Amino acid sequence: MIYRGTYSRFAPVSMLLAASVLLSACGGGGGGGSDGGSSGDADLADLSGIIDIAADTRVDRDYADLWQANDSGWQGITRNDSPETAQLLPVPAVVSGYLSASPGTYDNGLVFPDDGLDYYHAPLEPDDNVFLQVFPATDGSPENIGLSVTIDGQELCQNGVCTQAEGYGMSLPRSLAEGDSEIRIAVTGGEPVRYVLTLAPLGGVLSSNAAWPEPALAVNEAIVTMDQVTVQSSSATALGQRPDVQVLRSIGPRTLHLRRPETAMAQSASGSAESDPRQATVDWIRELRAETGAVVEPNYLFRLLATDPASNVPGYSNPDNRWNLDMIRMAEAWGLTVNSGAGTGVGVAVMDTGLFSPTPGSYGPWHDDLDTNVIGQSQVEQLDFVSRDYDVDSSPGRDVNPATPPTPGSAMTSFHGTHVGGIIAAEDNTSGTVGVADDSTLFPYRVLGVNKDTGEDGSGTVADLVDAINAAVARNDIDVINLSLGGLPDLNSLKQATDAALAQGILVVAAGGNSGNASAVYPAANRGVVGVGAVSLSGALASYSNFGQSVDLVAPGGDVGSGADGIYNAWCDVAGSDAICGADNVDSWSSGYAYLAGTSMAAPHVTGVYALMHRLAEGSGVPMAQDRFRALMIDGRLTTTVDPLLNYDLAVHGAGLLDAYLSLEATLSGDFPTVVSAHPRVLFLDADARDVPVALEILSPTVSSGLDITGTVSVPDWITVTDANGNALAASQSLPSGLTLSVNESALPSGRLATGLVTIPYGTDNRVLNIPVTVQVPDDTVDRAAGRHYVLLIDIDDSGDDNSRQLVSTVQSGQYPFSFNDVEPGQYLLVAGTDLDNNGIICENGEACAEYPVTGSPQPISVGDNGISGLDMTTSFQRPTLAEMGLPRYGFEGYRIPEGGSPSSGNNPAKEVSLP
């Protein structure tokens, strides 16, 4: 879509919701930013409102737009380019800034100044988190920018490490001296850049989303799930009648994999030739949702959650390579399995990249450490679930052979699934490695292939994963599913698949995520799925490991570093050579070993221990299933919290560090407790969080009805807790099936974070449900700043009337007031944001952005004859999560500021195109 006049927007209009926002109110606005129009025409309306600033937001004191707006350049501006003029930041803080090693001119004629240094100081403490994201002001590559970050003289990152695509993050070392730390961000070359620096205590922020989320998806594909029979019938009929829908296959109960036929694509393209195909896919999905009433979701791609191998040198006889097994007391645990076998007969489904074979074109033989434990070919119909578009083996598409094929055009093929399978089930054959459950039966489901667009190894689609999970559930010889993968949003189709596994008693174990924060990672964050975080060789939470909702307990995952810092297990080797296994030497592949680190490595430790427990329970006559495992875990019977290096925290480590010996002891006892599980089990909230739902589930071998609250419910003063209907909780009442939590912002204590427990005693054996809650305490509103804001009122009618308007608003007591006078009737978008790099575009990644009514989901405003006030928005350098947006939008690069004012529309003067 093209906006009339000099406004243009780098996103298709179809990303907007169908309904307009219909507003009518009396009066005009006032204050701060005004476009200077005159009021009085009965057919015209005045629009006004306030733009609030998100908590803890700060802006670099010498950004480029401020320089161009000042008649004398930097004169009179206190720059933060030296230690003496360092800018004070709170903790937590989200600060955005601008840097350029030299001045220059953009292609549109706008100029930018040089600004090679930014200094800040902040009250940092050990274990605080630092996260940096860098965005070039033009189309250049971030890797070519010479950028470095130091704290108190210690270099955190430089060049390509600082500017990696998903951002650089780290937890500050415990050796850091508490106090006022100096932060220096410097650039020595490359093009001008925007950056966002996030400072937060452990658990202080959910995530650092400075970029618009653009998750990878399968273009022109979707997944539809239908929960009710009536909806299923009507939706299926509606889908069958649509010319733009082709049903590819059923991937589970009431779950279909759809594709948009090429004829429908061509018709769509003719109407929007410039549309991003990913965005066109989202538009199609939005239409299907609206017209069928079914739950329709993108077919997202997911990925592995491990590092690249750090070494390929055999040496398992070295005790240092067994630190992970020693940490969870495997030697002691195996002593309890003598009469039952180490997982004998227990079916373990590893859904991953498949399995190493020296002859990948055939079903086996497998890695020397796994060969006898892999399910026989005659016992399976299908183990390769990778769709043809992502499959690179000799028989593209689904088949029985899960062997990992060589990755075309790549010097290295990923054997992630082999490594994961080895942690679980490597044979005790006097050589190589030993798995946790070395007698278990391995089902190597291949669900990860190669991304057809990027060539990245270890990518798969949700449709394939859901199909594989449902296929495993349909069998009667699989007891546990390991998912060392993630990177997905909350999806109904995936939730239905994991729910189906749980209903069959199958335990689902998943990697908790490698982004180093409390953001929810799926499938680990699905209800009932056991999410596993990672600890390092030292016993501390690994710097990359997520915590919070996605982590129910922790296990060894290794450090991101060299050699023995990682987890040592099965991989591929090139016979008689130090070469890496790739497509050019596939004829020489042989069994090898490597070190990997990640929550991908932590999860299979839990899966293997469950396999031991399952077999031991069979021998004792008391069967084990997923609900009993989870009950023991919640009861603290499978873990330890006393390791001094662990620095245990319920909100971070969940039930604690996996202890295999304690797990088997608990199994032998035959005592399965009645406990209550909360989902999510831990909450990290913003100060304005309201009506947050928490589902409760009773896990019990005997209780079929409800449980009573047996004592006083303890709640922090700054939290309100009721049942789902808004009723208070009290002793002797029945425990509800769900809770609703809200933050009392006015009651929050001073300091960085408010942390506390919601404690509910229940049952006849005096158990207690503890739900950790952490709230980021907001700073004073008047201290917030996000830079000069351009407020755009964009006419989307494209009528040629030149009705679009623009004004500039500066911060006043932590807010940006704005007022447009004499607005013609019509439909408009109301957006605002900063132009930190002075390239004439607002709302780019790394810049502040506000869209009405909600950033990420703008809707048109329908303007009539009456004035409209109270158009309130919130601006932030962070971006909404995919869960907040509902559906992603692709190819969005911001809103262009007009290159010249238009007297007829009453616009303020726009950016000048001139040299300083």
Paired tokens of 833: 């944001």
Q: Which residue has the tokens 């009929």?
A: 237
* Contact between residue 123 and residue 180 where contact means Cβ atoms under 8 Å apart: yes
Which one is catalytic: 35, 56, 352, 467?
352
Alpha carbon separation from 783 to 60, 83, 138, 813, 815 (Å, rounded): 14, 21, 31, 8, 10
List beta partners, residue 53: 875
Q: Which residue has the tokens 């955005």?
A: 96
Residues 144 and 126: their CA atoms lie apart, in Å, by: 31
* Contact between residue 711 and residue 763 where contact means Cβ atoms under 8 Å apart: no
List beta partners, residue 459: 303, 449
Query: What's 365-383 look like in SS3?
Result: CCCCCCHHHECCHHHCCCC
Paired tokens of 896: 């262009």
Residues 709 and 620: their CA atoms lie apart, in Å, by: 34
Residue 700 among the catalytic residues = no
* Contact between residue 353 and residue 404 where contact means Cβ atoms under 8 Å apart: yes
Alpha carbon separation from 773 to 528, 652, 710, 780, 876 (Å, rounded): 20, 11, 22, 22, 24
The C-alpha angle 845, 461, 284, rounded to 5 degrees, equals 65
Contacts of 903 (CB under 8 A, 6+ apart): none
Three-state DSSP at 658 gives strand
Paired tokens of 196: 């966002």
Residues 650 and 652: their CA atoms lie apart, in Å, by: 6
> In the chain, count of helices (H) and strands (E)?
14, 50
Query: Half-sphere exposure of residue 423, counting CA atoms within 13 Å on the CB side?
Result: 37
Instruction: Give just the sign of the alpha carbon dihedral 435, 441, 447, 450.
Output: positive
- Hey, what's the torsion of the CAs at 171, 175, 179, 184, to 10 degrees? -60
Residues 610 and 328: their CA atoms lie apart, in Å, by: 13
* Contact between residue 167 and residue 208 where contact means Cβ atoms under 8 Å apart: yes
Contacts of 756 (CB under 8 A, 6+ apart): 715, 716, 718, 719, 772, 773
Instruction: Give just the sign of the alpha carbon dihedral 95, 100, 101, 102.
Output: negative
Residues 850 and 793: their CA atoms lie apart, in Å, by: 12
List beta partners, residue 121: 88, 182
Which one is catalytic: 416, 605, 614, 653?
416
Residue 65 among the catalytic residues = no
- Hey, what's the torsion of the CAs at 638, 643, 645, 650, to 10 degrees? 50
Residue 416 among the catalytic residues = yes
Three-state DSSP at 221 gives strand
**Which residue in 604, 596, 605, 608 sits closest to 416, CA to CA?**
596
Paired tokens of 442: 């391995």
Residues 369 and 570: their CA atoms lie apart, in Å, by: 7
Paired tokens of 628: 């009993």
Paired tokens of 449: 């292939």
**Which residue in 434, 449, 425 sits closest to 375, CA to CA?**
425
Strands 147-151 and 154-158, bridge-based pairing:
antiparallel
Which one is catalytic: 100, 600, 677, 804?
600
Residues 424 and 483: their CA atoms lie apart, in Å, by: 12
Contacts of 796 (CB under 8 A, 6+ apart): 1, 3, 13, 827, 828, 829, 860
- Per-residue DSSP letter, 565: G
Residues 142 and 161: their CA atoms lie apart, in Å, by: 10
Residues designated as active site? 352, 416, 600
